[in-house]
Amino acid sequence: MKAPRNKRLMGKRNPRRNRQRFGGFFLFILVGIFLLFVFRFSYIVVSGHANDENLTKKASALYQSSSVLRAKRGTIYDASGTPIAEDTTTYSIYAVLDKNYTGINDKKLYVTDKAKVAKVLSQYLPLDRATILRRLNPANSKTFQVEFGTAGSGLSLTIKQAIEKADLKGVYFTETPARLYPNGIFASHQIGLANAKTTTTANTTTSNLKGIMGLEKTLNSTLTGTNGVKKVEKDSYGYQLPNTKAKEKAAKNGKDVYLTLDSRLQTYLETLMSSVQTKYQPEQLNAVLMNPKTGQILAASQRPTFNPETGSGLGNFWRDTLVGDAYEPGSVMKAFTLAAAIDSGKYQPNSTYQSGQVTVGGTTVHDWNNTGWGTIPLSKAFPLSSNVGFVHIEETMGKDKWLSYLNKFQFMSKTKSLLSGEVSGSIQYEHTSDQAVTSFGQGINVTMMQMMQGFSAIANDGKEMQPQIVSKVTDPATGKTTKYKPKQVATPIKKSTAKQVLAAMEDVTYKDYGTGGAYKIPGYKIATKTGTAQISNANGGGYMTGDSNYIFSVVGMAPASNPKYVLYITMKQPQKMTDPATEILAQIFNPLMKRALDYDAGTTATESKATMPNVTGQSVSAATAALKKQNLTTVQIGTGNTVVQQMPLANEVILDDQRALILTNGAMTMPDVTGWSKSDVLKLAELTGKKITIKGTGYATKQSLAAKGLLNSAQSITVTLSKP
């Protein structure tokens, strides 16, 4: 029993052997760790990865600088090659206040002289010196930097360079790609908008322009280019390594788009539309001028509208109402009913009927004057715009035949004119009464462009042309051009039918009982059709009542014998209907159609019209002299000596009674608006960004903020108008 115990005691008394065992075990652990380290190191060297991270890329990023070469977005041009929308760069200003922001040798990179900064910036921003000083002295002393809101953003290169010349410490700029719309209000909803969209990757932040409405949106992929990249090898201090070359992949610019719009006619249309909008205040106002031979849109506009250069007026109204709103067109639809009846051989012009009212399918239809004109031939139904007469025409033609012609004219189908947000329209055609009222434009919903497409068949010998606003696309890199050729979409009626409808439309203008006498233009024969459409109640309970609760319209074709132009105008619910609807619409129709016809005849050389010169960036004295040469009245807004904004914008047509407003650097001041029209006061509000309440009608007689008062200090401004 003692031998084993002695053996254990011997083991404990042999420390050398224990140390050898422990040393061997420890050596084994060290070798294992070493082999593991060698294996791990070899893996990292071979694979370039550690902990799921690419070490090669990380090391490269430390010694390689990569910058984006931004591609230029394509330019949108009018028919003559004048830019409508083009790329530019704007700048936003900010000031660094943190005193820890220093450079090499502790160079101060923050604002050191706040008084000087405030003085200089007040000369170029629409902020006074006191407001800027408050921004430079924030309540939180730990604020790193401050910005200046909208007043300090969207600055032009001219303003940026002027501020930089003052050598202000701690004042910096950020650069943002922007879209320049030099014409201001110019088919704004049709052209659309492109805004900067910022994307961030692991190494870079890039801002690119993206179309968000109108043609800028539908043609975004065409207009958008592909960014390039420039890579440079650098040392730990950020300098390019010697004997290395920058690697560059060039940017590919977007393609340029040319439209069919004629700037001369488009600008004139905008002026006429604004005048009617200001005077009569309709809920909506639309107009389109088209060449029916090609379908090319020469001018198009809508109200409400907005200025894409300033964003003024945009609000929440983003719809292009020329394609995005479906409405009941009213009596202008009778042109298509008459065409269908003639073309199908069902028109009996010498048949007589009792006008005034007729009951069909349990519904009583009245003529627009309620009493009618007694017993008259169907040939008078069109120039008199008799609803009862067209119910008889539809009944004679038959519901199936009439519906087939509506489909032939491509109603209830999109025109695919490239304008954004287009709807198809609809028809209510189940009951006999529904079928009857479509003959005079109720119970069917159409778009402006569908109507224009249909009108082209009447004006173009029965050949219906797709509305076209894009003429060609050009790739500036290759010079390759893709042309958009005129496209005939249907032949709904015969040539002889079209001629008969045109003759009937002449009667509307020139017969003493016709409804279109207001649209006569001396020296030209005009074929017209007027319309007054009821508006459905929002709750679906019948139609609205009241003298102004209609969609008033006119379509005209000229010259009537062989139309080169079709002009269609609609006006919804004028709030101040102080004149008959035909006289209101004539204020747009007659001058625009005459100008188009005069251009075609080459008789406009003697016309005199003033255009707004570009005075932005000029001194006040130079700008005033330039405007005086154009016989324009200059109104200065601001205490500075340099023009930073102007209204109207450069190249806009100026009517004789318009004022030219120039906003200067320095504090914004209120001008004396005595004698100003409502339109002028609205321009002042748009230019300054201030809310101005207008009371009364006529011309300005009172203003709540005195002339030369600071606009920035005024919470609200009221201008009172009075009739002379």
CA dihedral 515, 516, 518, 519 (to 10 degrees): 170
In angstroms and rounded to an integer, the radius of gyration of the C-alpha atoms of the chain is 36
Instruction: Report the distance separating Cα 657 and Cα 184, nearest Å.
Output: 19
Contacts of residue 698, Cβ cutoff 8 Å, sequence gap at least 6? 721, 722, 723, 724
Residue type (1 letter), 551 = I
Q: Are 236 and 54 in contact (CB under 8 A)?
A: no
Instruction: Report the distance separating Cα 564 and Cα 265, nearest Å.
Output: 14
DSSP letter, residue 440: G
Other C-beta atoms lying within 10 Å of the C-beta of residue 482? 11
Instruction: Report the distance separating Cα 664 and Cα 637, nearest Å.
Output: 6
Instruction: Report the distance separating Cα 449 and Cα 329, nearest Å.
Output: 12
DSSP letter, residue 513: T
Instruction: Report the distance separating Cα 464 and Cα 51, nearest Å.
Output: 68
Residue with tokens 């132009």: 565
Please pick, among 92, 122, 274, 331, the residue that the annotation labels catalytic. Answer: 331
- Catalytic residue flag (residue 331): yes
Listing DSSP states for 271-329 in one string gives HHHHHHHHHH-EEEEEEEEEETTTTEEEEEEEES---TTT-TT-TT----HHHH--B--
Determine how β-strand 444-445 pairs with β-strand 426-427. antiparallel
Q: Are 265 and 299 in contact (CB under 8 A)?
A: yes
- CA-based nearest residue to 551, from 463, 478, 448, 402: 448
> Between the CA of residue 486 and those of 77, 111, 185, 258, 489, what are the distances in Å?
19, 61, 27, 14, 10
Instruction: Report the distance separating Cα 327 and Cα 240, nearest Å.
Output: 65
Instruction: Report the distance separating Cα 459 and Cα 495, nearest Å.
Output: 10
- CA-based nearest residue to 363, from 427, 444, 425, 438: 438
Phi, psi at residue 476, to the nearest 5°? -65, -25
> Between the CA of residue 24 and those of 16, 17, 28, 31, 38, what are the distances in Å?
12, 11, 6, 10, 21
Residues that are catalytic: 331
